[in-house]
Amino acid sequence: MIPATLIAKKRDAKPLLDEEIRFLVEGYCRGEVADYQMSALAMAICIQKMNQREIATLTDAMVHSGTCLPRCTDRPRVDKHSTGGLGDKVSLILAPLLATLDVDVPMISGRGLGLTGGTLDKLESIHGFQTEMSIEQSSELLKQVGCFMIGANEKIAPADQKLYSLRDVTGSVESVALITASILSKKIAATLDALVLDVKVGSGAFMKTMDDATELANSIIDVGKLSDLPVTVILSDMSQPLGLGVGNAIEVNESVEVLRGEGPREVRDLTIELCADVLVKVNRFENRDSAIAALVDQLDSGAAYERFEQMVSAQGGRLEFPLSLAQSHSVIAPHEGWVESVNCELIGKTIVEMKGGRSRKGDKIDHTVGMEMHLRVGDEVKVGDRIATLYCPPQQLADRLERLTNIISITEKPPQRPPLIVMRVS
């Protein structure tokens, strides 16, 4: 087979055969299919899309480009994936919380790029925390703690890592087929029994509209079924940051608060909802109500925080909470009324500018910078109230405080508060 012929076939909107997809993925991993050829294929997929069978085969080929995590306990194995959004620190809470209820959570996470933060960047705010581990080390950690949070390595779905970098360059990041294969290849390689997916919807999310979010949710559910991985999906609101903190160290601090039974209600509630879905899926509980009751108890009793401490210690981290932040500066409201909307793009761009995120892969992160929101949609605001607190070195302050008064729009009448959970897809 000739790669150029297959790329032309997909460009002409003709489905690729299973053996053609495997040939391209295997050849790319061996260096026999060039970057420019795979880039052309990614662009063709983005434009012409793929059917479910094609996506399932692409996913399987990416899984088998590497190895799978071995079974090391007899406990059910579950995980969660989020499409990302401002202030989304749920993973830091969810993994140790689930581990307290006799399931294993082998979480392979990523780094942030653009407006949304990465779980690994947040964890590396903790001094000494190690995100790189061999399969043998991570298996031992799973036996001891019941969860780990590490980065992908060259052995787990390496085709995904190679293809992901091309997607960013070629503008094919938005392809539902490629997103589906990327997510599921890593999760299937983790040898999961069930997966819960949190698809963010709104101005602070990758998926801006309900149509786009629902298309991705259905794709992952359908391909998961073809791949023998049960998937449940929650579409959650991202028209404003999740919780109060947006950044790295600040989100770790907020996660610790939730793990101790405190913290912002919306972070706690969403985490519990996601956990309940996957616990019922693997028959740990008969129904969601009993699962939720158990999860609430694990948070309020401190058991979830103790498990988080165990995980951090086992991965080389030194617990010194709260983590220190850069100097604080108040953003003051210039008008009175009610908060109608939040400018998520301005928040995200500001944090990236302060080196709290990346505009390019490989950019160094300043874990101490970030922002704490004091108002949410529907809240009343008066002149002189604090809209937010900005954490950054004085030399980076410039005119940011004045610009950040625009992170909220104010209306004269109280608007309707958006629901935390927009829809469930099953």
DSSP H helical segments within 117-209, as ranges?
119-123, 135-145, 158-170, 176-189
Buried b (16+ CB within 10 A) or exposed e, 230-264: bbbbbbbbbbbbbbbbbbbbbbbbbbbbbbbbebb
Q: Look at residues 262, 416, 270 and name the one whose alpha carbon lies nearest to residue 339.
A: 416
**Domain ranges across the chain:** 3-48, 78-152+186-314, 328-411
Buried b (16+ CB within 10 A) or exposed e, 384-397: eeebbbbbbeeebe
Separation between Cα atoms, residue 201 and residue 224, nearest integer Å: 21
pLDDT at 61: 96
- What's the token pair of residue 94? 């969810």
- What's the token pair of residue 209? 């509209």
Asked if residue 243 lies in contact with residue 263, where contact means CB atoms within 8 angstroms, the answer is yes
- What's the token pair of residue 267? 């972070």
Amino acid at 20: E
Would you place residue 323 in the very low, low, confident or very high pLDDT band (cuts 50, 70, 90)?
very high
The torsion angle over the Cα atoms of residues 393, 397, 256 and 269, rounded to 10 degrees, is: -170
Q: How is residue 71 annotated by DSSP?
A: P
Asked if domains 78-152+186-314 and 328-411 share a fold, the reply is no
- Tell me: pLDDT of 358 over 60: yes
- Tell me: pLDDT of 45 over 70: yes
Q: How is residue 143 annotated by DSSP?
A: H
Amino acid at 170: T
Residues 82-101 pLDDT 10s: 988 899 999 999 999 999 99
| Residue predicted with more confidence, 162 or 301 | 301
**Percentage with pLDDT > 70 across the chain:** 96
Amino acid at 142: L
- Tell me: pLDDT of 172 over 60: no
pLDDT at 208: 85
Mean pLDDT (whole number) for 307-319: 95
How is domain 3-48 classified at the architecture level of CATH? Up-down Bundle (1.20)
Upstream peptide bond of 393 is cis (omega within 30 degrees of 0): no
Mean pLDDT (whole number) for 242-259: 97
CATH for 78-152+186-314 is 3.40.1030.10
Asked if residue 192 lies in contact with residue 76, where contact means CB atoms within 8 angstroms, the answer is no
Separation between Cα atoms, residue 387 and residue 384, nearest integer Å: 9
pLDDT at 115: 62
H/E/C letters for each residue in 230-247? CEEEEEEECCCCCCCEEE
- Tell me: pLDDT of 113 over 80: no
**Domain 328-411 classified CATH 3.90.1170.30?**
yes
Asked if residue 55 lies in contact with residue 180, where contact means CB atoms within 8 angstroms, the answer is yes
As annotated, the active-site residues are 81, 160, 167, 182, 186
Separation between Cα atoms, residue 197 and residue 274, nearest integer Å: 8
Give the pairing of strands 408-411 and 337-342. antiparallel
Separation between Cα atoms, residue 109 and residue 131, nearest integer Å: 9
- What's the token pair of residue 12? 């002409």
Give the pairing of strands 231-237 and 370-373. unpaired
Would you place residue 296 in the very low, low, confident or very high pLDDT band (cuts 50, 70, 90)?
very high
Scan for tokens 């009751």, then name that residue: 293
Mean pLDDT, all residues of the chain: 92
Angle at 111 between CA 403 and CA 395, to 5 degrees: 35
Lowest mean pLDDT segment, chosen from 113-117, 163-167, 315-319, 391-395: 113-117
pLDDT at 154: 80
Residues 259-284 pLDDT 10s: 999 999 999 999 999 999 999 999 99
